Amino acid sequence: MAMNPVDEKPTSSFSEALRSEQRPQLGAACSEPVITGGTSYKLALFSQGKPLGWLGENDSEWAILTTDPKQALALEHCPYQGVNYYRIKGSQRYMSVSNRAYIGFYNWCGATGFTVQGTHLVADHNGQQLSFFSMENQYLYAWDAYTVLDATLAPIPLPVLPKQPLTAQIEHVVVLMLENRSFDNMLGGLYPEKTVAGCYRGLPVDASNPRDPGDPGKGRVTVFQGPADSATWIMPYPDPGELFDDMNEQIFGCKNPGPEAVPTMQGFAWNYSLQPGAPLHQGEPDVMPDPRNIMQYYSAAAVPMTSFLATQFAVCDGWFAAGPVQTLANRVFAHCGTPGLKPGTNCSRINNPDFTYGWSTSKNYEPPVVEKTVFELLDEAYPGEINWKVYYHDAPASAICRYVYDHWRWVSWDGGNVFRFHEHSGSQTNLEYDIIHNRLPKYSFIEPRYTDILKDGPVNSSHPGGAGIDCHDPNGSSLPPAIAVTDGERLLKEVYDILAKYPDTFKKTLLIVIYDEHGGLYDHVGPPEAVSPFAHEVDNFAYTRYGVRVPAILVNPCIPPNTIYPPPGKDRTNLFDHTSLISTVCAQFGLDGSLTPRSAAANTLKDLIPENPQVYPRPASPAIPGAATIYRVEDAMAVPMIDVAAAIEAADPQVTSKVSTTLFCLLLGLLGMAQQSRLKKDG
């Protein structure tokens, strides 16, 4: 080959360069085989006995020589049909060689075999040896005319971990975080006898709320169990109050409670009666809030999958939202152990609009959450591999965290660490695809569909209220169509059935099903005091109190059926909140440091799985009532969301000229417009 590779320096990503070569295998249907990765290595590189560094990768998927051991890639040896392939551990990115002899990373369709010959690594694609041009250049080549490197595949030792709270058998933690339901609403009626006996913190059947705490003459509203029908599945409608002030009224039963106020849990019905109405169908008169519906709780027949998992595995009756606040602050808590401060202030973020504080459409989008995440802790402890993934439906709320945003490959075939939940071909999900191909990461976070704006499937978050968008309502969406809790049940069933289908993986996995906040629905247990996430005083709410209890279900085949966690008879004062996800992941995988005082103090899920585990037989998961909505074929990879931004702007032309305050517009509009600006910049 009469060419000099460095004469044509890369101006695009490696995947784009490879596609431009129009190799036949890249244009054909290409199915990745199931390969069980072998030993993991770091590729140490030498020249004439002098150590130079390691094999690394830049942001555009090109292989580079790195001198930073933390940037060295972890490679899995993947032998297949007599050829030695290497992929980045936990990913679907294989080593490959371009026609111009550059080395990079692409999917299976572009994978190139490599053969070890003595101390050299030879590319099967062109028969040339691994080399480099200069330390300043950094790119790696398969090109004998340059400095040929000696390569040593150094095995990565398994970490020596202290006692792990989930036992050594658990290698994967999967979190499914749904939306806006209280514990009593979903699980309060699960064990009525145990509730009476004091073994389960279930819902007392005589629990009630005044219609107006200031006027006893208006009577009280008692809890009731609705039938398993379509009216109950969308109850309550419209959306309850979710703002910080609403939650304080719900918890304390009065406006503006003082710092010494004690939770009475007597303001739910009253606060709901103060919320605005919304049409159930477009063009119809508003439906006004009925305070009785905030006190409804579900039967096992109405939420069969929730009840199945809670009784067949473990239910935690002491899990609280991280704070009495909206979705975004609670979700950020789960990743960072804090909601963070509004930029340029000493005030904590509380309501969703606080995450757009200081943002302007005239600027390029910058993720508002810059605090360190548990994802970063994982990557620090296990550098060079894919340790975590976010699987999302319409938009990843997690991407408001800068670290997640920066690990989302939008315009590539590969999503990096952030993927659509559903696969681009057929009905297979990316979660199942990763399990089949032996790359389920240590930590996975699944997000539901938040809105129906893409018209690609039902809103399966279980959020009460409507799926429609009102870009200027800080409380959230209350526009039709109504969200049915059964669609959340279907997502829950889908995730569980995938895990149960692969028993070897399931045995090594803990599935945690939780809700981000109570969403204004009644719960009878007052939230206790909590450790502030801030190491200093703040000028507003310091998060020294948990939010309202939320449903929490813990699933692994070695958990005995009918488990109540923590067990009755043990320390029932052990409480959990979303930072228990962080503390458990840190303890389970030996991560260094804690993110905040709250996460450092959070209880782990210790003693949940027996030391000498056995697999308990379970029946098949139940059918979900109601008509299922057929999914549109979704693109699994990091598809640019320009269509999302366009859809929002079509629904409300003012959205791009003023700051929007809803979760929908923050996630979809800002992220969509951010991708537009990045595509323009890359173009």
Res 472: pLDDT: 62
Asked whether the bond before 481 is cis by omega within 30 degrees of 0, the reply is: yes
Amino acid at 406: D
Higher-pLDDT residue of 647 and 549 is 549
pLDDT reported for residue 359: 65
- DSSP H helix total and E strand total for the chain: 19, 29
pLDDT exceeds 50 at position 249: yes
- Write down the pLDDT at residue 425: 55
Q: Which residues neighbour 610 within 8 Å (Cβ) at sequence distance 6 or greater?
A: 167, 558, 560
Question: In this structure, which amino acid lies at residue 623?
Answer: A
Of the pLDDT bands very low, low, confident and very high (cuts 50, 70, 90), residue 679 is very low
391 forms beta bridges with 419, 446
For residues 498-508, average pLDDT:
98
CA distances from 261 to 212, 266, 546 (A): 18, 13, 14
Section 497-513 average pLDDT: 98
pTM of this structure: 0.93
Say what the pLDDT of residue 67 is: 96
pLDDT at 677 over 90: no
Q: Which residue's entry shows tokens 């080959």?
A: 1
Q: Is 169 exposed, middle or buried (0-12, 13-18, 19+ CB in 10 A)?
A: middle
In this structure, which amino acid lies at residue 641?
A: M
Q: Which residues pair with 348 in a beta bridge?
A: 341
Distance of CA 142 to the CA centre of its chain: 38
Question: End-to-end distance of the chain based on CA atoms, in angstroms?
Answer: 31
366-375 per-residue burial string, b: 16 or more CB within 10 A, e: under 16: ebbbebbbbb
Instruction: Report pLDDT digits (tens) over 596-612.
Output: 999 999 999 999 999 88
Residues 459-478 have pLDDT tens digits of: 999 999 998 876 666 665 57
User: What is the three-class DSSP state of 663?
Assistant: helix
Q: Give residue-wise pLDDT tens across range 51-74.
A: 999 999 998 999 999 999 999 999
* pLDDT at residue 314 greater than cutoff 90: yes
> Which helix (H) or strand (E) is 65 found in, with range?
strand 63-66
The average confidence (pLDDT) of the chain is 88
pLDDT band at residue 423 under the 50/70/90 scheme: low
Asked whether the beta carbons of 514 and 502 are under 8 A apart, the reply is no
pLDDT band at 667 (very low <50, low <70, confident <90, very high): low
Exposure class string for 309-336: b at 16+ Cβ within 10 A, else e: bbbbbbbbbbbbbbbbbbbbbbbbbbbb
User: In terms of DSSP bridges, do strands 50-57 and 63-66 run parallel, antiparallel, or are they unpaired?
Assistant: antiparallel
Give the pLDDT confidence of 206-227 residue by residue, as tens digits. Answer: 999 999 999 999 999 999 999 9
Question: 259 Cβ partners below 8 Å, 6+ apart?
Answer: none
> Which pLDDT band, with edges at 50, 70 and 90, does 8 fall under?
confident
pLDDT category of residue 659 using cuts at 50, 70 and 90: very low
Q: How many CA atoms lie within 13 A of 263 on its CB side?
A: 20
Contacts 24+ apart (CB under 8 A), 495-504: 495/174, 495/176, 495/431, 495/446, 496/305, 496/309, 496/555, 496/621, 497/621, 498/429, 498/431, 498/432, 498/435, 499/174, 499/435, 499/555, 500/557, 500/618, 500/621, 501/432, 502/435, 502/436, 503/557, 503/615
Tell me: pLDDT of 517 over 90: yes
- Quickly count: other Cβ atoms within 10 Å of residue 623's Cβ: 11
Q: Residue 446, exposed/middle/buried by CB under 10 A (0-12, 13-18, 19+)?
A: buried
pLDDT band at 644 (very low <50, low <70, confident <90, very high): very low
Which candidate, 291, 267, 294, 289, places its Cα nearest to that of 213? 267
CA quadruple 311, 312, 317, 319: dihedral sign: negative
Delineate the domains of the chain, giving CATH numbers in brackets.
5-155 (2.80.10.50), 172-211+299-351+365-601 (3.40.720.10)
Determine the Cα–Cα distance for residues 272 and 276; give it in Å rounded to an integer. Answer: 9
> Average pLDDT for residues 340-349, to the nearest whole number?
96
pLDDT for residue 540: 97
Residue 23 has pLDDT above 80, yes or no: no
Under 8 Å CB-to-CB from 119, ≥6 apart: which residues?
46, 150, 151, 152
Structure confidence at residue 457 (pLDDT) = 84
Q: What angle do CA 242, 408, 111 make, to 5 degrees?
A: 150
The residue among 451 and 575 whose pLDDT is bigger is 575
CB-based contacts of 399: which residues, under 8 Å, 6+ apart? 367, 390, 405, 408, 418, 667, 671
User: Which among 27, 158, 107, 204 has a CA at the least distance from the CA of 409?
Assistant: 107
Identify the three-state secondary structure at position 398.
helix
* Residue (of 654, 331, 671) closest to 470 by Cα position: 654
- Taking CB atoms within 8 Å and a gap of at least 24, the contacts of 362-365 are 364/674, 364/677, 365/670, 365/671, 365/673, 365/674, 365/677
Q: What is the pLDDT of residue 474?
A: 62
CA distance 317 to 182: 11
